[in-house]
A and B are shown apart, each in its own frame.
Chain A
Amino acid sequence: MNIALTQQQARIEAERCLQCFDAPCEQACPTHIKIPTFISMIRSGNIIGASEVVRTSHALVNVCGKICPEETFCQSVCTRSKQDDPIKIRELHFFATQEEAKRGFVSTLPFPKSKKKVAVIGAGPSGLGCAFELAKLGYQVDVFDKGKQGGVPSKSIPAFRLADKELESDTKFLSKYFSFKKKTINGNAFSQIQKSYNATFLAVGLGKDRPVEIPGEKLKGVLPVLDFLESAKMNPRKMKVGKNVVIIGGGNVSLDAAATAKRLGAESVILIYRRSEKEMLVWKGELEEARKQGVEIRFLTIPVALIGKKSVEGIKCRRTRLGKQKDKSGRAIPIEVKGSDFILEAATVIVAIGQSIAADWLEGFEREKGYIKVDMNFRTSQKGVFAGGDMIAGEGTIVQSVAQGKHAAQAIHEFISGKQR
């Protein structure tokens, strides 16, 4: 998995593409990359042209080329899969952009230059997507972030899935289109920014782990997943896990944590999830990968209490069954099964049940389920402030965040040029 295709492999794969008209893959990609066009270019040997096509629609080409969950988007609707197997679209995309990265970036057109300034707060996928699109439209863009550029891909996506060099290749390409300001934002700084820019795009993401809210959460060895992943990425040598690791979760982040725990030397890694495999909102590729590495998944299981004196020693679980009732996401609601409690040994428990917005200086915004509420044009309840990425809808994919940033930039453009309030 994730070894770049060779030129010959790429050509052979590209030749399988049917070149559908009005292609479903292109519609399914949140950034609407012109997929048949770039594949036709790989076919004809015009690899740099192919990379240009990808970059025209997407700001983080190498990141998404490496880890975009293609089976969720483009490849899920590939017409070819009705005949045999879908085209490996993501891998062809990655092949093209890696070739460009190897040969040197193609210079872009001079973008228009306007005096109008936009602040982008947060240098994650959504912020960078927005900043690049705004630059194309001629705006002077300042991107603020307290850490380095990249957001989630830089902080918590494990290095075995995404190497720094892929992200760096993208941020290096983007660097000349806006100024990056390394700065911690607080309430004062935010109101200062609002005053000095024509518009603001908020893209600070989430970053705060949700507590599991069962007894024993304060025990030593119970780790919030972001803390765990960030430390493991920053300091893989210092990071230690116990012999038996249990992960409470069910999303992609929990799979990342499980695979990371395995790599850090845990003998047994068990992931508990309250519903069944069918309801799990994860990328199949990652699930398979985690299983291959020996991660055990216990479906229909919820945590009841964490056991231990000072440090965690075990976790008390309860079985569930799926009821007929469904929640808003259309998935069956799990019902606890009486008398089914059991205990799993665990020296480390990782809590990966979701995140909320960490930025505590965001005051006065209308919210929905804790996320910042925006309309179809990414407008928040405050005039001139737009928002996108995970902070408006919860954990999403990188490509969705980039797409939101890109669309928000268009809305910001309409706002500044007076076509919208």
Chain B
Amino acid sequence: MEYKKFKEIEIYPLRDLSYDFLGIHFENPFILAAAPSTDDLDMVRRGFQMGWAGAILKTTSVEGTNVDLCYPMMSTFEYEGRKLFGMGNIDLISEHHIDKVEYNVRQLKKEFPEKMVAASIMAGRKEDWQRLVERLEKAGVDLIECSFSCPQGNIGEDQGKMLAQSISATELTATWVKEAAKRVLVSIKITPHVTDIVEVAKAVKRSGCDALTASNSIQALMGIDIKSFAPYPSLRGKSTYSGMTGPAIKPITLRTIAEIARNVNIPIMGTGGASTWSDAVEFMAVGAGVVEFCTVVMHYGFRVIDDLRSGLSHYLDEMQFTSPKEIIGKALPNIVSHDQLPRKRMRSHIHENLCIGCDLCYVACRDGGHSAIDRLENRIAHIEWKRCVGCGLCNLVCPVDGCIEMLEWK
């Protein structure tokens, strides 16, 4: 029998995850990044209603800017069954010009005054950058993110290059933007594709801009069809380099954020490869003030906010933190240069009672380590301590949680 449907009564309290960052009050640290998910008013509305704390509307431009898209634009880096381990796109900026985005900003600020409504912009000439800033400021936007790092290159001179790959161009353009911004906050979205990310961050700092968004997608060639030799995504057999996002790029982003935070005193909006609440905690631990999400939303929908909020709440409880703000920068003191690392003699320890006898550690150590593992009669792996240098490889390949651990020689 089918009974009358009713809305489930919530019985657990929603923890307060709000805090101030950049002078803005955020309901929680979870922001929708500039992406297809923020290109449409109804989509952002839905995201906000479901609990996202803010959104950066997809990168817009002045009227008349030619946005010449081509399809298909998405591709995947599938790895051992994870469909979107990495996602590639050859998308460009939004087809909506500033007039439409102004309208969306006004509408969203009216309907959701408590949410952070930001817009992303890209231009070539100084007057276009500044006009975009002025118009968005007037529309009531809380923050402007400047894309200096679209993997397909920036508008204007030196096409195909990213602005943020040039320190002087970054500083000059950021100065124009900041000059035009009276009230509104400005964040410069940068690329990790540079020799020294610290120099870029310093250039942004010198420009007077308020924050950095670190960092944009990774330029990537997503794959090749080995029969037709067409690269992915294939457009009648042709393709170009994609911007890769998703879990695959998380470690790159973490390093970028950490390196900036360790060297330059500037607020950071983290983005690039965060999918879960614990990813967000990691981003914040290396210095991000808020975390922007894109690929996971494009994969599973705005509903992922449920676990982001719930997971972070329980994490804060467990850690006895009163606010997400307490996480920011927590891991930074633990990142040191190689020469400052502790140099203790380590060894691997196999809990032989947990060993299931796959002998993956054996073969890894034999062919990629120091032949320090023996196979006992019943396939059980056994460490020969004298030969073990403690590299940790066996621990990585072991499929059983807690079976191998790294210990200090005593």
* Residues on A facing B (Cβ under 8 Å): 6-8, 19, 21, 32, 34, 37, 40-41, 43-46, 48-49, 52-53, 55-57, 106, 108-109, 111, 133, 136-137, 376-377, 393, 403-404, 407, 410-411
Contact = CB atoms under 8 A, between A and B. Distances in A.
B371 interface: no
A410 B6 contact: yes
B184 to A, nearest CB: 34
Given A19-B300, A40-B304, A137 B9 contact: yes
B158 interface: no
Nearest to B14: A109
Nearest to B318: A48
Contacts of A108: 11-13
Contacts of A393: 1
B138 interface: no
A44 B277 contact: yes
B6 A40 contact: no
Nearest to A403: B3
A420 B332 CA distance: 61
The 6 A-B pairs at the shortest CB distance, nearest first, are namely A49-B310, A46-B311, A8-B401, A44-B276, A407-B3, A136-B9
A49 B314 contact: yes
A334 B203 CA distance: 87
Nearest to A16: B81
Interface of B: 1, 3-4, 6, 8-13, 276-278, 300-301, 303-304, 306-307, 310-311, 313-315, 400-401
A6 B401 CA distance: 10
B401 A7 contact: yes
Contacts of B314: 46, 48-49
B278 A44 contact: yes
24 contacts: A6-B401, A7-B401, A8-B401, A37-B306, A41-B310, A41-B311, A44-B277, A46-B307, A46-B311, A48-B314, A49-B307, A49-B310, A49-B314, A52-B310, A55-B11, A109-B11, A109-B12, A111-B11, A133-B9, A136-B11, A376-B4, A403-B3, A410-B6, A411-B4
Contacts of A137: 9
A119 B95 CA distance: 62
B12 A56 contact: yes
Contacts of A55: 11
A138 B401 CA distance: 45
B4 A41 contact: no
A231 B8 CA distance: 39
Nearest to B276: A44
Given A46-B277, A376-B4, A403-B3, 19 more contacts: A7-B401, A8-B400, A40-B304, A41-B310, A45-B311, A46-B310, A46-B314, A48-B314, A49-B307, A49-B311, A52-B310, A53-B310, A56-B8, A57-B8, A108-B13, A109-B10, A133-B9, A376-B1, A410-B4
A168 B45 CA distance: 44
Contacts of B3: 376, 403-404, 407
A46 B280 CA distance: 13
Given A41-B310, A407-B3, A410-B4, A56 B400 contact: no
A52 B9 CA distance: 12
Contacts of A56: 8-12
Nearest to A27: B2
Contact of B301 (A8, A21, A106): A21
Contacts of B303: 37
